[in-house]
Amino acid sequence: MKEIDRYRIDPPNSINRHSCRLYEFSGRRIVLDRTCDASPRFFSSFQEIVGFKSGGQPIFPPRILVGGKEYWGDGFSWKRAETTIAEVLQTEGGLI
């Protein structure tokens, strides 16, 4: 996985604060999203955002499942989350 961008999504464009990283993986653009204001912090992942609603909120495609869950990695470091999602994408495809 190669990181190609970093960005944040904050209220009012989402309910929570998010730190996001965009990766290129086998021709797919994958977002790794860390929810910052939860305790412990957790991750979700999906293919790149497909657009924005009229109010500025992002439109998300289906999330990539890790261990059968949309939200995962409670307390994981970025490195551990990157390794985990790369393994899921290589072995399972990961998409709902």
Q: What angle do CA 62, 83, 21 make, to 5 degrees?
A: 55
Does the pLDDT of residue 43 top 90, yes or no?
Answer: yes
Mean pLDDT of the chain: 88
Q: What are phi and psi of 84, to 5 degrees?
A: -65, -50
Given this model, what pLDDT does residue 96 score? Answer: 41
CA 34/CA 27 separation, integer angstroms: 22
Q: Which two three-digit tokens encode residue 80?
A: 């551990």
* Residue at 69: amino acid letter: K
Confidence (pTM): 0.80
| Residue 36 buriedness (CB in 10 A; 0-12 / 13-18 / 19+) | middle
Residues 6+ apart with CB under 8 A from 77: none
pLDDT tens-digit profile of 5-31?
999 999 888 889 999 999 998 888 899
